[in-house]
Structure 1
Amino acid sequence: MIPTLSGRIQTRLFLFVFLGLPITALFAYSHAGWSWDWSQAQIFFLFLLTLLGVGLVLDPVYIFIQSVRWDRDWPFAFQFFFSIVEFGIVVGLMLNNWLPWLPMGGGKGAIELQTVTLHFLSVFIPSFLALLGPLSVFFIRWRFKAGQFGKL
Structure 2
Amino acid sequence: MTPTLHGRLQTRVLILGALGTVIAVLVTPLLPMGRLSVAQGYRVTLTVLAAVILVGAGWELVYHGVQQFRWDKDWPTLFGLVTIVNEGLLMWLLVRYTTVVLPRGLRPPAVAFGLDFTLTWLAFWGFVNGPIRVLLPRWRYNGGRVI
TM range (shorter): 0.7 to 0.9
RMSD: 2.2
Say which of 134, 137, 141 aligns to 1:137: 134
Which residue does the alignment assign to 2:80? 79
Deviation at 1:30, TM superposition (A): 3.0
The answer (yes or no) to whether the contact 1:102–1:111 under 8 Å persists in 2 is no
TM-score in terms of structure 2 length: 0.86
The answer (yes or no) to whether the contact 2:17–2:49 under 8 Å persists in 1 is no
**2:31 aligned with 1:4:** no
Structure 1: which 5+ runs fail to align?
none
Distance 1:102 1:142, change over 3 A: farther
Structure 2: which 5+ runs fail to align?
none
TM-score in terms of structure 1 length: 0.83
Distance 1:20 1:125, change over 3 A: same
Match for 1:115: what amino acid? A
Match for 2:50: what amino acid? L
Which residue does the alignment assign to 1:70? 71
Which residue does the alignment assign to 1:114? 111
Moved over 4 A (4+): none
Work out which structure has the larger RCO, using CA pairs closer than 8 Å and 6 or more positions apart in sequence: 2
Deviation at 1:24, TM superposition (A): 0.5
> Structure 1 vs Structure 2: percent identity of aligned residues?
26
The answer (yes or no) to whether the contact 1:7–1:146 under 8 Å persists in 2 is yes
